[in-house]
Amino acid sequence: MSGITGAALVAGIVGRPVTHSLSPVLHNAWIAAAGLNAAYVPFAPTAGGFAALAEGLRGGVIRGVNVTIPFKEDALACADQASERARLAGAANLLLFRHDGTIFADNTDGLGLLAALAIQAPGFDPGAGPAVILGAGGAARGAAAALVLAGAPDVRIVNRTADRAVALAADVGGTVRAVGAEGALKGANVIVNATSLGLNGGPGPEADLSAAPDAAVVMDMVYKPLRTELIARARARGLRTVDGLEMLIRQAVPSFEAFFGVAPPANVDVRALALKTIGKSA
């Protein structure tokens, strides 16, 4: 970041904690490779401090921010305008501070999910069959919204707490419905783990992969470790798998474009960089 002058474009990420976020690593690697006069920095407001931070940035003090746990709902709430995908997800991971003083909210997590599927499971068509989402928290909401918008004919939500699955289905609407675990994977086109199960090498979500079709794709949003228990089981079953690190990288691409007006340079191996960073923090 040695080329920063007073004319630099600034963007960042807001989270709490934000210390282990990979986003500064990805964005600053792209900034350096593109030779931009720009910087991407972390912000960790107090638990109730998100709105004050966002209000203070109105008018384009900085270009925008990505938003992570636990502020994604706050981010949507403070915006003047929001994309359809952010409204459907009920959360925003991207805020843009317009020069006219307004705040625009978007959600690129769903784009990241779909791009990761396209890259790691070539030929995957979200419209070709039922999607099964394990979990009913914020991550599941974003995945459900993305899959509905991508034309999934049946989006099944399976969750330990059934009421949350029912609420998610009612809020997102479209083809989303809450189902029990029994028989949920029958005919599935894609199975997405949107729970926190599998993190740090723990057991993954219960899912009877033998009930899934041979052509089903299994995607795990958990990427620490990269090979989660669910991914390992899916591979042992001969299913194609997609990892959460690719989703994280792919949600960053449209964010970078929105902040800096150019596509990230293709010649940076941000995946290797992210893996190195995860390895260091593990």
Q: Any idea which residues carry the catalytic annotation? A: 72
Q: Binding to ligand ATR by residue 195, rule CB under 6 A?
A: yes
Partners of 134 in beta bridges: 158, 193
Q: Binding to ligand ATR by residue 233, rule CB under 6 A?
A: no
Contact range with ligand ATR by CB under 6 A, out of 43-51, 58-66, 131-139, 270-278: 131-139
CA distance 58 to 146: 28
Q: Binding to ligand ATR by residue 196, rule CB under 6 A?
A: yes
**Minimum distance from CB of 265 to ligand ATR (Å)?**
30
Q: How many residues touch ligand ATR (CB under 6 A)?
A: 14
Q: Binding to ligand ATR by residue 137, rule CB under 6 A?
A: yes
The single residue among 29, 197, 230, 231 that binds ligand ATR, judged by CB under 6 A, is 197
**Minimum distance from CB of 195 to ligand ATR (Å)?**
3
The single residue among 36, 136, 143, 219 that binds ligand ATR, judged by CB under 6 A, is 136
Integer CA distances (angstroms), 198 to 20, 87, 165, 204, 237, in order: 18, 29, 20, 4, 18
Residue 16 or 160: the one with the smaller Cβ distance to ligand ATR is 160
Please choose, from the candidates 201, 203, 198, the residue with its C-alpha nearest in 3D space to the C-alpha of residue 219: 198
Contact range with ligand ATR by CB under 6 A, out of 4-12, 153-161, 228-236, 243-251: 153-161
The single residue among 24, 138, 198, 244 that binds ligand ATR, judged by CB under 6 A, is 138
Q: Binding to ligand ATR by residue 224, rule CB under 6 A?
A: no
The single residue among 16, 58, 87, 160 that binds ligand ATR, judged by CB under 6 A, is 160
Residue 69 or 215: the one with the smaller Cβ distance to ligand ATR is 69
Q: Binding to ligand ATR by residue 164, rule CB under 6 A?
A: yes
CA distance 194 to 209: 16
Please choose, from the candidates 101, 198, 90, 97, the residue with its C-alpha nearest in 3D space to the C-alpha of residue 146: 90
The single residue among 81, 161, 173, 200 that binds ligand ATR, judged by CB under 6 A, is 161
Residue 204 or 264: the one with the smaller Cβ distance to ligand ATR is 204
| Residue number with the smallest Cβ distance to ligand ATR | 137
Residue 193 or 241: the one with the smaller Cβ distance to ligand ATR is 193
CA distance 282 to 222: 14
**Minimum distance from CB of 215 to ligand ATR (Å)?**
26
Residue 36 or 91: the one with the smaller Cβ distance to ligand ATR is 91
Contact set with ligand ATR (CB under 6 A): 135-140, 159-161, 164, 194-197
